[in-house]
Structure 1
Amino acid sequence: MAYGNLKKQLFESRVQEIEISQKGEVISSDNAIFNIAEKSNISNFHLFFELFPEVLTSINENIQFPCINIEFEGVKKIIDVEVIKKEKRFFLFFFDLTEHYENSQPIVQEKNEASIAKNKLDFEKKLLEAKEEFKNTFLANLNHEIRNPLNNLLGFLETLSASSLSYEQTELLKVAQKTGLQLKVLMEDLLDISKIEDGVLELKHVNFNLSTFMAAIYKHFQHKYSSDIHFTVETESKVHTALIGDPNRLHQILFNLIENAFQNTYRGSVSLSVVPSPNNQHIKSSNETVIRFIIKDTGKGIAQEKISKVFDNYLQLEKEKLKPLGDGLGLKIVKNLVQLMNGTVAVESKIDVGTEFILDIPFTTRIPKKKAYKTKKIPGIYINKNILVIEDIKDNQMLFFKHFLNNDEAYVMHLATDGAMAFSLLEKKRIDVIIAKTTIPDIDIFSFIDKVKEHPEDSINKTPIIVASGNSLLEFQNTLEEKEISNYLMKPFTKKELFKAIKESLNQ
């Protein structure tokens, strides 16, 4: 067979030509692929051609339709369809590309699946980033909005506690203070969980004395709960007490575990034992130690099926009494903080017998310094220090006035309600420290700091600035540090914390 005839045969066997009228009636068909009867209507051939008569009325040029799956009278094909209009005559061409499409389909499918997988990963990444941004923004806003009124609540309660109260009033005040502090702890736990998950919570490495630390823990819980529950704290003599670590995080861990023990114990005892950990035998460095903290109670206990989930987010155990505020967050933050400190935590429990939490936490040891003899502070002549407070909310202003009223440090408060008033006072009076809020009415805090630092007079541009805020976002605090402020005062703060920040700023 000649090459030309072979080519013609291959072409003719794979291409079908059909002439149709404008109404879709089949005038002729070579039936190379499908057996289509003359005088039948193409709209009845297959669902794809059902609306073809309407298509033909509006056609002005050739139209192509690729990859059409057709099954007719037992013949299955994948075809390309081309419609050609020529001098009021309409021609359909079916191109049999079944083999081509079937061979290329796996490749196309694989490519599509890879593209879908990539798009899915991109989408999931963007979704995760959006969720993270929403979570951080939500927590920051919630934190800021709660800390401001909480600062006033605890501040005025602190002021009230210094006044003459009856026994009943004092007890009621203690309940109010306890509730306020519990709210503060809950907010800090929420934020710390978020920071740990984001990998931005940093541990401090400072000197502290474990004996003094344990005494404070004992005193706090001894006064907090009723005598129905016997509370003890015991530290073995072999335990190193001169340590370097993060006492604030250790306090947070033990506070949450002891609080949890009291909440689940209605009679009997709660104990905290401090002993050298058996893991010390694996420590090679002479200035490292692992300390074991055991918190034991005689409460209801935890069912075995719940023990593995006890550190999960927001798990709440069944209690006879009202569930305490923030229950579930405490144990979650314990696990996260212990892991951050390279420690371990385990729990053992029996129903109606009690629960035991066992912590192993490593610390650096140090040689304790000899206590220096301190002379008693005696009254004398103090030089007034002028403190400029920038605050526009009346309740906050009143709290600052209460803090500075009759103070022993000779701090004199001057009030400005906005940036313009603050600069007017700075230029008229020698100001020793500025305490500014982050939301100054007429100027943002960063611009205010820049304006102070860039002032031509040294008496103004060298004035220490303390920023008082409820904003706990790390990026925000880092930006303030870059501006070289002297101190950041996180709300809620006590009078003692306020005056400590002022004193540190004056000594810089």
Structure 2
Amino acid sequence: MTLLTALLNGAVALSTAKIPAKRQSLIILILLIIASANSFLHLWFSEASEHSTNIFVTIIASGIVLSNRAHWTASILFNWVGWITISVWLELALIQHFFFAMAMSTLLSWFAHLARKKLVTKQIELEIERDLAIQHELEAKAATETKSAFLANMSHEIRTPMNGVIGMIELVSQTELNTDQKNYLATAKRSADSLLIIINDILDFSKIEVGELTIEFVEFDLEQFFEELIHDQHFHARKKGLTLALSKGDFHHRHVVGDPYRITQIMNNLLSNAIKFTESGGITVHYDLVTLGDNLQLKVEIKDTGIGVSETALPFLFDSFSQADTSTTRKFGGTGLGLSITKQLCELMNGDISVKSQLNQGSTFSFSVRLKPPRQTHKMASKPPVPVSFEGLQVLLVEDNEINQEVMLAILKGLDVNVFIANDGLEALATLSHSQRLKFDLILMDCQMPNLDGYEATRRIRAGEAGEIFSHIPIAALTANVMDSERVKCIEAGMNEYLTKPVKIEALKSVLVKYHKQAPAQH
């Protein structure tokens, strides 16, 4: 009986083990046959008909653990043939006294087998669904990674020449020009900026899709933020003869913590649309700040007297690549991504956006975003003025693109910076290795370069391969990849700062002034 119990327990355990189904079923059948044979031996030697109970148990167990129809049939036949043979051979009255019990055991085994088969079939279906889900998840992950890599590459390939275009325009604008030349240049600058906005919209939309876009939290002056933002839009409004008015609610938190860049993006999208679709009258902007527990909520309302939106178009206004109608696209242009990105940015900042509009009656866009109060209630210190000259600052520019070299060289020399150029990471390491007496104050490091990219070059510099004297030198990334993961990648490689192409001169100056102050301590 002990052996029978052990064999049956082993069969039950195997039925839940992770072994191929056919092999598992065959092993269980062998164990059940051994268990039955053991019972027959007990019956043979004892000639006690009550030992038939073990046979009944084995038959029922066959139905419980066997899902393969052929194997179950083999087990049942083996038990019946063995039971009848021993009964006849030993002249025991087994069939007379226990036939009903044997038949009921077989019937119970049949029902158990059907239930087991149904359960196994369901498990197989679930495993197939799980495997498909895992496969789809892996495929989706691979597709997302491929898309991210494609976006990063497209960002680099598009923004790198844009750096040359915008950089050269800014450099030319600083030279002596007549009125016509200034007008031509201003038009070129606006066109380049418009192209950059379209590129940024497409990249931002794609970043949101792949979960790459993150919200930052920095402290800023809310009143100054809106005043500067409206001031920047006044030019476009005045050009069309429109008024642009700003008003604020009665609130006390002038300084807040949030993402001013993304709020600017929302405001510029809404204001540029309001100006674009308004031919006469004006635009009013009202903002307010309300307290929500430990947080703050910024509420903004932008009202225009423009062409409005029809009731049929309103439900689709925030959809991707959506505009009111094709005539709107032909007349006013645009990708149809601005409002979609605006809505998603609001949602990323725990807010929302809505619109009220009637055709030819104007529109009112209202949005909210979540902000935080500053940790300290004191007034933020005003930023020190950025010096015009950085005389004495030694910078190593690591850049493989000749046009970008020319642009950066002109900008840096215009700021009185001493510039040395390396065409890739290997040249940068060689330049530093042979310049142990020339203490550079800063490295401007392009990230995607042939031979040795900026990430690996930075890691080697930090490891002391260019000399221990440069292992802690400040390194600023100079990249055309604007994906959020790129910033993390640069920091993990050991870079201190992060500048994106096209490089904004003010952003470059803020990095230079930071290390210009440290320069004397390094010499």
* Superposition TM-score, scaled by structure 1 size: 0.70
CA contact (8 A) 1:211 1:241 kept: yes
Equivalent runs, 1:113-192 vs 2, <5 Å: 113-114=125-126, 117-192=129-204
Deviations 1:41-99, CA, capped at 9 Å, x for gaps: xxxxxxxxxxxxxxxxxxxxxxxxx99xxxxxxxxxxxxxxxxxxxxxxxxxxxxxxx9
Q: Which residue of 1 aligns with 2:246?
A: 234
Asked if the contact 1:228/1:268 (under 8 Å) is kept, the reply is no
1:464 partner letter: P
User: 254-263 or 128-137, which moves further after superposition?
Assistant: 128-137
Query: Which amino acid in structure 2 is aligned with residue 425 of structure 1?
Result: T
User: How far apart are the structure 1 equivalents of 2:272 and 2:412?
Assistant: 34
Aligned residues of 2:246 and 2:286 also touching (Cα < 8 A): yes
Partner of 1:259: 272
Whole-Å separation in 2 of the counterparts to 1:489 and 1:255: 22
- The answer to whether the 8 A contact 2:474-2:496 is kept is yes
Q: Which amino acid letter does the alignment assign opposite residue 344 of structure 1?
A: D
CA distance in 1, matches of 2:182, 2:272: 23
d(CA) in 1 for partners of 2:466 and 2:161? 37
Note the 1:318-357 alignment, pairs <5 A. Answer: 318=325, 319-320=327-328, 322=330, 324=332, 326-357=334-365
SS of the residue 1:214 aligns to: helix
TM-fit CA distance, 1:346: 0.9
Deviations 1:369-394 (A, max 9, x none): 17669799799xx7512111122322
Structure 2 counterpart of 1:416, from 415, 418, 422 = 422
Give secondary structure in 2 for the equivalent of 1:275. strand
One of 504, 507, 511 as aligned partner of 1:501 = 511
1:154-173 residue CA offsets vs partner (Å, 9 max, x unmatched): 11111111122233322232
Distance (whole Å) between structure 1 residues aligned to residue 235 and residue 382 of structure 2: 31
> What is the CA–CA distance in structure 1 between the aligned matches of 2:383 and 2:447, rounded to whole Å?
41
Give the AA of the match of 1:333: I
- Within the candidate set 222, 225, 228, 2:234 is matched to 222
**Alpha carbons of structure 1 residues 451 and 325: separation in structure 2 relative to 1, 3 Å:** farther
**Does the Cα contact within 8 Å between 1:466 and 1:486 map onto a contact in 2?**
yes
CA deviations on 1:112-131 (whole Å, 9 max, x unpaired) are 75455445434432332233
* Contact kept in structure 1, 2:425 and 2:449, CA below 8 Å: yes
Q: What runs of 5+ residues in structure 2 fail to find an aligned partner?
A: 1-68, 71-109, 519-523
300, 317, 325: which is aligned to 2:307?
300
One-letter amino acid of the structure 2 residue matched with residue 328 of structure 1: G
Equivalent residue runs for 1:5-84 within 5 Å: none
Output the CA distance in 1 between the equivalents of 2:358 and 2:181.
Answer: 41
**How do residues 244-393 of structure 1 correspond to structure 2 at under 5 angstroms?**
244-276=257-289, 280=291, 283-285=292-294, 288-318=295-325, 319-320=327-328, 322=330, 324=332, 326-366=334-374, 367=377, 369=379, 384-393=392-401
The residue identity in structure 2 corresponding to 1:471 is N
**Equivalent in the alignment of 2:63:** none
SS in 2 for 1:133: helix
Secondary structure at 1:124 match in 2: helix
Would the alpha carbon gap of residues 383 and 393 (structure 1) be closer, same or farther in structure 2, given more than 3 Å must change? closer
Which residue of 427, 431, 435 corresponds with 2:444?
A: 435
Instruction: Indicate the SS of the match to 1:439.
Output: coil
Q: Which amino acid aligns with 1:477?
A: R
Give the letter aligned to residue 241 of structure 1. Answer: R
Structure 2: distance between partners of 1:233 and 1:316:
26
Map of 2:496 onto structure 1: 486
> Pairwise CA RMSD of aligned residues?
3.2
CA distance in 1, matches of 2:502, 2:129: 48
CA distance 1:171–1:437, shift in 2 (3 Å):
same
Q: Which of residues 453, 478, 500 in structure 2 aligns to 1:444?
A: 453
Report the Cα distance in structure 1 between the residues aligned to 2:380 and 2:473, rounded to whole angstroms: 36
Whether the aligned pair in 2 keeps the contact of 1:435 and 1:465 (CA below 8 Å) is: yes
Paired residue for 1:62?
A: none
In the alignment of these two chains, the number of paired residues is 401
* SS in structure 2 of the partner of residue 308 of structure 1: helix
- Counterpart for residue 469 of structure 1: 479
Aligned AA (2:460): K
TM-aligned CA deviation for residue 361 of structure 1: 2.4
Q: Which residue matches 2:64?
A: none
Q: Which runs of 5+ in 1 are unaligned?
A: 1-65, 68-98
Deviations 1:288-323 (A, max 9, x none): 432321111122211222222211111122345735
Q: Determine the C-alpha separation between the residues in 1 that align with 2:185 and 2:391.
A: 35
1:212 to 224, 231, 247: 224
Contact 1:487 1:505 in 2 (8 A): no
Once the two structures are TM-superposed, the CA of residue 192 in structure 1 deviates from its matched residue by: 2.9
**Secondary structure of residue in 1 paired with 2:330:** coil
Distance 1:430 1:142, change over 3 A: same
Q: Is the 8 A contact 1:214 1:233 kept in 2?
A: no
Whichever residue aligns with residue 412 of structure 1, its letter is N
Tell me what 1:15 maps to: none
Contact (CA 8 Å) 1:468, 1:488: kept in 2 or not? yes
Superposed CA deviations along residues 265-293 of structure 1, whole A, max 9, x for unmatched, are 2222222112345xx5xx334xx432321
| Letter in structure 1 aligned against 2:161 | P
Preserved contact between residue 390 and residue 440 of structure 1 (Cα < 8 Å): no
Q: Which AA in structure 1 matches 2:398?
A: I
Higher helix share: 2
What whole-Å deviation, never above 9, does each CA across 1:169-211 have from its counterpart, x for those lacking one? 2223222222222232333333333333444433222221122
What is the TM-score with the length of structure 2 in the denominator?
0.68
Identity among equivalent pairs (%) = 25
Query: Does structure 2 retain, via aligned residues, the 8 Å contact 1:294–1:356?
Result: yes
Specify whether residues 136 and 387 from structure 1 end up closer, same or farther in structure 2 by C-alpha distance, changes over 3 A only.
same
Stretch moving more, 153-162 or 189-198: 189-198
* CA separation of 1:248 and 1:340: change in aligned 2, threshold 3 A: same
Rounded to whole Å, the distance in 2 between the matches of 1:482 and 1:371 is: 31
**Structure-2 residue corresponding to 1:89:** none
Q: Which has the higher strand share?
A: 1
What is the SS of the residue equivalent to 1:204? coil
